């Protein structure tokens, strides 16, 4: 690629692919500002002011890494390299701004992960559990830079342990009002958005039957109703069994990504996020389904940092019990290095998924 100039159309094409980057609950907490023919800014907002799962902003930082990697892959596909520079954010503590500069690459070639950007989608349904082949595992290993490691949990007893852990973590999420305040906002129960939602999670992508969907919608109308159903009618037992325990069993296996040296800085999370994106896109190119299982990592971090994430004593007590289970699974000394957990399995593409905001809605002047 000899051209020194990036036609603005190219930036738009790069961003149009990049907007398919996944974000927690499809929040897409970013905006893009085109600065010149060769540069644009990314304005990333963390959700720490309302989302209990992002109290320390770390999941947002991790997601910036996923976005950087998606932008890089799209830029390379168009013959450009990227450079990122953090910019001042004024007084807004929840905002992180980066300047991205594009430079022409000497070699233009198809990026092997580019086509997976738009087709990749979280798979929350039960998956086929045929074990991964050595070739498939090698493809995942090849995504890792020095300092990262993958541990696989594939035996039936390991899958059951992870299922129990996820079931227990969901119990923490359902008993606390702080969890309800998030869940009641992120599922798109609006008419017409049950299968594809541009800003939230469509209910059909959760992988539960229509009756459970309808009951969930009804129960989520108010905290008092949800709390009553959860506490006195055991109304979340089926959801936890179906969405957490069974899915953990019905897959090929779970991978735990660990990072040996970790200082929990913004750069640290971004580096991890980049690896996560490569792993997820690699799963897609191999025709495998993938679902992040982030809550054990997040709650373990809250425990270590002494973050008081709920006013509900049951939630705090249960999170502490689950943390012990998590340590039992991965080992006491390894728990600090845990960066990401996900399940992988054999599946066809989801028939319901989150789609995205239009690029025009993500551009700022």
Ligand X SMILES: Cc1cc2nc3c(=O)[nH]c(=O)nc-3n(C[C@H](O)[C@H](O)[C@H](O)COP(=O)(O)O)c2cc1C
Cβ-based burial of 278 (10 A; exposed 0-12, middle 13-18, buried ≥19): buried
Instruction: Check residue 11 for interaction with ligand X (CB under 6 A).
Output: no
Q: How far is the CB of 170 from ligand X (least distance, A)?
A: 10
Cα–Cα distance between 223 and 219 in angstroms, integer? Answer: 8
Instruction: Check residue 290 for interaction with ligand X (CB under 6 A).
Output: no
Beta bridge partners of 104: 80
Instruction: Check residue 63 for interaction with ligand X (CB under 6 A).
Output: yes
User: Within the chain, where are the H helices?
Assistant: 8-18, 58-77, 116-119, 134-141, 156-175, 177-186, 210-219, 223-232, 237-240, 247-249, 266-285, 295-305, 313-330, 359-362
- Out of 291, 303, 310, 347, the only residue in the binding site for ligand X (CB under 6 A) is 291
- Out of 23, 70, 172, 310, the only residue in the binding site for ligand X (CB under 6 A) is 23
Instruction: Check residue 203 for interaction with ligand X (CB under 6 A).
Output: no
Report strand pairing: 196-197 vs 353-354.
Answer: parallel
Sheet with 30-36, strands from edge to edge, namely 30-36, 39-45, 95-104, 80-87
Cα–Cα distance between 276 and 335 in angstroms, integer? Answer: 18
Stretch in the footprint of ligand X (CB under 6 A) among 55-63, 146-154, 228-236, 310-318: 55-63
Stretch in the footprint of ligand X (CB under 6 A) among 58-66, 85-93, 106-114, 125-133: 58-66
- Out of 14, 15, 18, 24, the only residue in the binding site for ligand X (CB under 6 A) is 24
Q: Which is nearer to ligand X, 6 or 248 (CB)?
A: 248
Instruction: Check residue 66 for interaction with ligand X (CB under 6 A).
Output: yes
Stretch in the footprint of ligand X (CB under 6 A) among 37-45, 62-70, 130-138, 357-365: 62-70
Instruction: Check residue 294 for interaction with ligand X (CB under 6 A).
Output: yes
Beta bridge partners of 291: 343
Q: Which residue ranges make up the site for ligand X (CB under 6 A)?
A: 22-26, 59, 62-63, 66, 121-122, 124, 201, 291-295, 353-354
């Amino acid at each position: 690629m000899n051209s020194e100039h990036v036609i603005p159309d190219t930036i738009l094409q790069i961003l149009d692919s990049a907007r398919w980057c996944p974000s927690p609950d499809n929040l897409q907490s970013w905006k893009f500002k085109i600065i010149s023919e060769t540069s644009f800014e990314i304005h990333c907002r963390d959700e720490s002011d309302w989302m209990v799962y992002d109290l320390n902003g770390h999941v947002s930082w991790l997601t910036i890494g996923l976005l950087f990697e998606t932008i890089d892959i799209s830029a390379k596909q168009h013959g450009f390299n990227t450079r990122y520079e953090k910019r001042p954010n004024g007084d807004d503590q929840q905002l992180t701004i980066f300047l991205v500069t594009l430079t022409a690459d000497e070699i233009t070639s198809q990026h092997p992960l580019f086509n997976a950007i738009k087709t990749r989608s979280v798979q929350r349904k039960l998956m086929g559990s045929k074990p991964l082949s050595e070739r498939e595992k090698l493809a995942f290993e090849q995504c890792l830079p020095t300092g990262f490691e993958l541990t696989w949990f594939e035996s039936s007893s390991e899958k059951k342990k992870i299922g129990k852990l996820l079931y227990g973590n969901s119990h923490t999420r359902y008993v606390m009002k702080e969890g309800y305040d998030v869940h009641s906002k992120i599922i798109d129960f609006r008419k017409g958005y049950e299968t594809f939602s541009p800003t939230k999670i469509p209910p059909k992508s959760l992988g539960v039957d229509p009756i459970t969907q309808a009951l969930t919608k009804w129960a989520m109308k108010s905290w008092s109703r949800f709390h009553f159903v959860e506490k006195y009618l055991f109304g979340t037992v089926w959801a936890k069994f179906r969405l957490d325990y069974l899915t953990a069993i019905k897959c090929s296996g779970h991978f735990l990504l660990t990072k040996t040296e970790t200082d929990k800085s913004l750069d640290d999370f971004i580096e991890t996020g980049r690896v996560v994106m490569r792993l997820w896109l690699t799963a897609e190119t191999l025709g495998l389904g993938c679902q992040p299982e982030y809550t054990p990592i997040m709650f373990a971090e809250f425990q270590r940092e002494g973050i008081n994430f709920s006013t509900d004593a049951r939630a705090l007590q249960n999170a502490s019990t689950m943390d012990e289970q998590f340590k039992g699974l991965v080992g006491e000394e390894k728990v600090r290095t845990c960066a990401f957990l996900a399940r992988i399995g054999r599946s066809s593409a989801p028939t319901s998924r989150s789609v995205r905001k239009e690029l025009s809605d993500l551009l700022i002047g």
